[in-house]
Structure 1
Amino acid sequence: MIKILISAVLFFSFMNCSVSAAVIKNVDFGLQADEVVITFLPLSAGEASLIQDGSGETILINTGNASSYPELKKWLKRYKVKKINQLVITKQQKYYDSNVQRAVNDYHIERIIVPAQYQAEFQTEKWKESDLFQLTNNIHVDVLHASKQKTAAMDLLFTIGEHRILYAMSSSDEVEEKFLRIPLTHVDVLKIPNFGEGTFFSNAFLKQLDTQLAVAFTKPGRSYSPRLLSNLTAEWIELYDVREGSAYSIKMSLKSYDVMKFSAK
């Protein structure tokens, strides 16, 4: 059951890929042991995603740009986060990892996971390509690709029950060909790389993913690739854009999931 303390509510309850909407002050998902919620947080500059597991584990993926840290803290408070067990950084770049030290201090983070090429002054656990990890009893992660370029980055596949989330950081033809060869299929959620800018996945690849929805973060001056929007539309993939100030939470059980939209207005 979802317990929401609200100032005003617009809440519709559907099954699977439905979207419920609410203006919130505080959220408690009341997770069962086999349930997981991933929330894509609406920072004005950069990426940050929150994973809450039914076992009580809390995982943060990226921390956004330095300017967005007050926003990150506000949203974590609304999701009742006081401690973060694990921090995963998917790219060494200011829109992803500018608030690591502040988050470590404020949320008592002990485990920091980074790409193999990552250079850090703090203690980290480095993940390399083809590694497979179990973050919690419910969450498994495959490192599908690790950049060998100057900027350290990694593309991750999260498996939660029967659901798969592709947390993509790369969108080059080379990486797409690698994913096609795996082959990468039956992905429920695609996190769009590079804020929706630049080169993007082909229709053939999106068709193979068989994904239902995509999520995009934002940064100042972001402009979507026309090819991205065209390809998503052609494959009937719904795009959730956090730039409008709403967080999207996807609550997953072993076999089903629900999408909820929480507005800060």
Structure 2
Amino acid sequence: MKWLLLMAAIFFQFTSIVSASSFEYGNVESIDLNLNDHEIAVTFLGLGDGEATLIQGSNGENILVNMGGEETGEDLSEILKTYGVKEVSTLIITNRQNLFVDQLTQIISKYNVKKLISTPEITNELKNKKESFPEVEVISWNEGTTQDLFPDLYAEVLFAGNGENEGIDFTLKFFKHRIFLMTSSSDYVEENLLKKTLDDVTIFKVPNWAIEDSLSEKLIQYVNPQISILFESEQHQPDPDIIYDLQDTWSEVFFTKKHGTITIKFTENNYEVFTFPVEKEDYS
């Protein structure tokens, strides 16, 4: 019965996506989101492997959270070009699994990165390589850190660890909207997060590609997001039980493997979802 419900939920999800705007990404030469004052856009990049999230403000600044997979540098550059990104003011690396030093150095040089943010352990390591990017300010985020990123947008770090499957888990607050970018997956992390206020999450980036045991039903129900985002991994497949649990909360689930690049444009009171599919094998 649970599998029947899961298949029905997936069918509903894929047919209900007509509420979002969809474009053939391969036919798009450039994307201008026309951000006005008090607007931002958060884009989950549809790379073939790994995580990368682009945050754009009306002031023209760009923030990049992670860089995709180790072999997706060219695809990342192509998508950033499509979104008109010439500079990245801040690069955030959420955990060691998303740290590729050669790729990091190339991005810092190509996009004139001014700030590099990560866990205390990773930033200490990177400070020893400062000769490769001497002009970059290296910043540590600890649990409880809050930081203004753009006008009207600030980050709050809910957890920062260096253990296996741990990293930075943080939220972005923009007027009434809250985006939860979760990286870590462990019982210890969930115990900590269940003590935080998470009942106002709009968008939830699922950790660790939603592999088996990476996310509990209890935490999913506690977060209760409106939209959930699952990135693609060449090595891992999402756990059907996690997908079922997400959709059981009526969260609309988007897969970068199925939907491609996913852009969410926020105003003070509303948001709109755009998808830019790429030519890939069908999601199954």
- Normalization by structure 1: what TM-score? 0.88
Tell me the distance in 2 between the aligned counterparts of 1:194 and 1:138: 29
Q: Which moved more, 1:231-240 or 1:101-110?
A: 231-240
> Equivalent residue for 1:69?
73
Letter in 2 for 1:69: G
Matches within 5 A, 1:196-235: 196-235=210-249
1:159 alignment counterpart:
173
| Structure 1 counterpart of 2:50 | 46
Equivalent runs, 1:65-104 vs 2, <5 Å = 65-94=69-98, 99-104=103-108
Instruction: Give the partner amino acid of 2:74.
Output: P
* SS of alignment partner, residue 206 of structure 1: helix
| 1:152 Cα offset (Å) | 6.3
Match of 1:21 in 2: 22
Alignment partner, residue 187 of structure 2: 173
- Name the structure where helix makes up a greater proportion of residues: 2
Pair 1:257 & 2:271 matched:
yes
1:4 aligns to what?
Answer: none
Higher percent of residues as strand: 1
User: Do the aligned residues in 2 keep the contact of 1:47 with 1:96 (CA within 8 Å)?
Assistant: no
Judge conservation of contact 1:91–1:97 (CA < 8 Å) in 2: no
Match for 1:90: what amino acid?
A: T
SS class of match (2:31) = strand
Structure 2 distance, partners of 1:97, 1:129, is: 24
Partner of 1:11: none
Instruction: Determine whether 1:190 maps to 2:191.
Output: no
C-alpha contact 1:36 1:53 (8 A) present in aligned 2: yes
Specify which of 114, 117, 132 is matched with residue 146 of structure 2. Answer: 132
- Give me the identity figure in percent: 27
Evaluate the alpha carbon distance shift between residue 209 and residue 151 of structure 1 in structure 2; reply closer, same or farther with a 3 A threshold.
Answer: closer
d(CA) in 2 for partners of 1:78, 1:197: 30
Q: Alignment partner of 1:66: what SS?
A: coil
26-35 vs 237-246, greater mean Cα deviation: 237-246
Match for residue 112 of structure 1 among 116, 136, 145: 116
SS, match of residue 171 in structure 1 = coil
Q: Distance in 1 between matches of 2:49 and 2:164?
A: 22
Aligned to 1:9: none
> Separation in 2 of the partners of 1:146 and 1:205?
18
RMSD: 2.0
Query: 1:115-144 CA deviation, whole Å, 9 max, x = no partner?
Result: 112122235211111111111112110110
Question: 1:76 corresponds to which letter in structure 2?
Answer: L
3-state SS, counterpart of residue 36 of structure 2: coil
Instruction: Give the CA deviation at 1:182.
Output: 1.7
**Deviation, structure 1 residue 177:** 2.0
Contact persistence 2:45–2:52 (CA under 8 A): yes
Equivalences, count = 249
- Distance apart, 1:207 and its partner CA: 2.4
- In structure 2, the gaps of 5 or more residues are 1-17, 131-135, 280-284
Shift of 1:235: 1.4
TM-score of the superposed pair, with normalisation by structure 2: 0.82
Q: Deviations over 1:154-179 (max 9, x none)?
A: 10111111101110011222222212
